[in-house]
Structure 1
Amino acid sequence: MSIFARKPIVGPLILLLAFAILYPLCWFYAATRMETQFSLWVENLRARGFAITHGSVSTAGFPGIIQFSINKPNFRSPDGHWVWRGNIVHLGMQPWNWRRYRLEFSGLQQIKLSYPTPKQPIWLTSKSAVAVLRVHSNGRLAEGEVTLRSISVMDKKKALVLFTEDMWFKLTQPETRISKVEKTAVSVAVSIDNLLLPAVAQSPLGGRLARIQFVANLKGLLPKDMTHKGLEKWRQAGGSIDTSWFNLVWGAFDLRGRGSFSIDESIRPVGSMTADIRGYSETMDALEDAGIMTGTGAAALKMGMSAFAKTSSADGANVLTIPLMMRGGYLHAGPFQILKLPPLILPSR
């Protein structure tokens, strides 16, 4: 065979040889860079007052996904108001994509919170957690998606306060910090399934919230910290929360709505929502059985609701559409004042 006949094979062989040499170099360079960035991140946070400790770290995964593992991580905020203790964290990254990361938190995760609302510390534990993060070209977080399984909330005595089977949330934000009120600073989506309430908080609707979901855009320049002063500045600048979807399923009660919210000068929620309510008749029956409403009152209210309800073309259910408003420290459903809304409990500064 002549040399000319072999030439078509030479090019691909050279490319394959170059890839075999360069890919390991790129992989180990990316792995080393990940370790270096982690060390710099820890040093930077420690300089800002955070207490961070961890056990051994290791890198594995060649020639595929880079797996950077951190054993026994412990993280405490400068004021000590929240503490995180983990078992092991695996950080995964594709060596050809430095803007997307996957974090898997193996084993039991514990978070202690005593800020800003709880009067005593509460503990959050999760059996598993997975987060997928994507960053912009300037290093700013572009998107974060977190899935938690079997989440328990306990009080100081480790008594169970809340439990939920699944929780998912997603956050997205623009590449640069916004400067205009009408612009969206952060978009948030949350879904919680099977939230179990403590006995003291259970109602005639039962002790399990089957579903809580919402999708919202936070508009205006967000405060740097969740304090009374920070939120007041956000409010004065015209900040708002626009909710394109909200769904609460509690027993037979099924509320679906959308609206816009903010806070007033007393840091109380204000805003309005258009709500579609399914299961209102069964809800009235549950309130009547619990003695909260009289039989005559429940029957009259159900009759009035049914007069304004419409049949859904999607599922054939009777749907009552009503406006909900929060103003002056109270929640109103149409012309009726439903309940008092207390101010948000936050540090003053």
Structure 2
Amino acid sequence: MRFKVLVTIVLLVIGAYVAFWFYLASQVEEKTLEAIANLQGSGVGVFYDDLEVEGFPYKIVLKSSSLKVSYGGPELAGRTVSIAFPEVAVVAQPWKLTHGVMVADYADLVVSENEEAVFRLAADHIKSSLILDIEERRPQRLSVVMDKMQWGYGPARPQERLSEARDVQIHVRRPIGESPDTDQLDMPVVGEMALRAKDIMAYEIPVGIFGKKADTVMVHAAVHGSRLPEFTPAGLAPWRDEGGTVTLQTLRIDSGKLDLTLKGDMSLDQEFRPLGAFSAEITGVEHIIEVLSGLSAFQKEPGDEILDDLKDMVEERRNGNDEMIKVLSLSIALQNGLLFVGPIPVYELSPVIR
């Protein structure tokens, strides 16, 4: 008798779980289609060949093929951003649907203007983790890991050189509670971003400044304000006016030729141009002076004078191995629409948004 009762209970539990799983699967599919319809209604293009839910009995797996999402809202000033996945899957546990993991072998991101590409990015072997705040119904943490990332500008060209980075990690989070590192004079931290990448070859940077490639790039930044602003003029203006800032806690570039560390704070001026102050420390100064000396811009005024000033600013100090090294310490300011290295204006700044 007891055995029959036990078998009956086990069968009831299994049957209840099966019913629970298929109910959840139908809800996931229904809510996904509803979210797609809402996005399409708000001007976001969502296109795909198929959409299915699988993974029984331990997982909920939402799979789609030929997925493409595009957006060209007014805040993008006539540009359109689109991202395409040949195949993509989102995996979650039935008992924890607030945490999803996205897996894709490949993805393409394109920024275009007048139907012509102005920026292209391709990523291989992507894994992404997203944790949702169920009470506020918004993302709490997002992590993206890619084996390789390549990018270029303008339409694709035969045999073009693409900038690239490997082992890319990007982490974005909204802090839970008050940040212990926040100074009492600062506004609360409303968002943080960390990035790490290896073997970076960026052709946007003059060839040779960091040697053939940078071994490692690390970035850690925090956004201060009463709330995380939308990236539109209407969203950024009140954030700026109330004293919102971006703190660059660390930007570090290590290579065999030159190492750079940068820290500072930044906001926006009334024309949405960067406004801030940073301190930079560079080792491997001999290499950068050698590279700049070979550029035509630094062989005539005012470039040759800037180069002489840089040489005069180099100082010697001991590193952690008790070795004497040459270090260049610089103050960098962003003000009046110009980038200043020390007292010297070297670059004109454009608005981050129009």
Show structure 2 runs of 5+ residues with no match: 74-78, 178-185
Q: Does 1:170 align with 2:175?
A: no
Cα deviations across residues 229-285 of structure 1 (Å, max 9, x unaligned)? 543333222110012211123552211232211122233322222333222233334
Q: 1:35 to 1:277 in 2, by over 3 A?
A: same
Task: Kindly state the Cα deviation for residue 320 of structure 1 after the two structures are TM-superposed.
Answer: 3.2
Q: For 2:323 and 2:287, locate their aligned partners in 1 and report how far apart those are by CA, in whole Å.
A: 16
Q: CA offsets per residue over residues 61-106 of structure 1, 9 Å max, x none?
A: 2222222111111222154611222211101001111110001123
Distance in structure 2 (CA, Å) of the matches to 1:36 and 1:273:
49
Q: 1:48 and 1:318, CA in 2 relative to 1: closer, same or farther beyond 3 A?
A: same
CA distance in 2, matches of 1:254, 1:77: 38
Greater strand proportion: 2
1:211 Cα deviation from its structure 2 partner: 2.9
Specify the alignment match of 1:47 in structure 2: 41
2:351 alignment partner in structure 1 = 344
- 1:185 positional shift: 2.0
Tell me: CA distance 1:11–1:219, structure 2 relative to 1, closer, same or farther (3 Å). Answer: farther
Q: 2:195 aligns with which of 186, 190, 201?
A: 190
Structure 2: distance between partners of 1:84 and 1:300? 45
Candidates 104, 113, 116, aligned match of 2:111: 113
- Range that drifts further, 95-104 or 285-294: 285-294
**Rg larger for:** 1
Q: 2:230 matched to 1:224?
A: yes
C-alpha separation in 2, matches of 1:296 and 1:340: 16
Kindly indicate whether residue 305 of structure 2 is the aligned counterpart of residue 305 of structure 1.
no
**RMSD of aligned residue pairs (Cα, Å):** 3.6
What corresponds to 1:71 in structure 2? Answer: 65
Q: Which residue of 1 is the match for residue 147 of structure 2?
A: 149
TM-score by length of 1: 0.80
Q: Is 1:58 aligned to 2:52, yes or no?
A: yes
CA 1:143–1:199 in structure 2 vs 1: closer, same or farther (change >3 Å)?
closer
Once the two structures are superposed, the pairs formed by residues 1-349 of structure 1 within 5 Å of their partners are 16-79=10-73, 81-106=80-105, 108-114=106-112, 121-138=118-135, 139-159=137-157, 160=160, 161-174=162-175, 182-198=187-203, 201-206=206-211, 208-220=213-225, 221-227=227-233, 229-249=234-254, 252-288=257-293, 292=298, 305-306=314-315, 309-313=316-320, 316=323, 318=325, 320=327, 322-326=329-333, 327-333=335-341, 335-337=342-344, 339-347=346-354
The answer on whether the counterparts of 1:285 and 1:298 sit within 8 Å (CA) in structure 2 is no
- TM-score, length of structure 2 as denominator length: 0.79
Identity across matched positions, percent: 17
1:198 Cα deviation (Å)?
A: 3.5
SS for the counterpart of 1:99 is strand
CA separation of 1:284 and 1:225: change in aligned 2, threshold 3 A? closer
The separation in 2 between residues aligned to 1:274 and 1:200, in whole angstroms, is 20
Taking the aligned partners of 2:203 and 2:192, their CA distance within structure 1 comes to 31
Note the C-alpha offset of 1:17.
4.3
Distance of aligned partners of 1:250 and 1:265 in 2 relative to their CA distance in 1, 3 Å threshold: farther
Aligned counterparts of 1:76 and 1:314: Cα–Cα separation in 2: 52
Any stretches of 5+ residues in structure 1 without a counterpart? Answer: none
Q: Is the 8 A contact 2:314 2:328 kept in 1?
A: no
Answer whether contact 1:223 1:230 (CA < 8 A) is retained: yes
Q: Distance in 1 between matches of 2:278 and 2:205?
A: 29
Whole-Å Cα distance in 2 between the matches of residues 206 and 313 of structure 1? 23
CA contact (8 A) 2:195 2:219 kept: yes
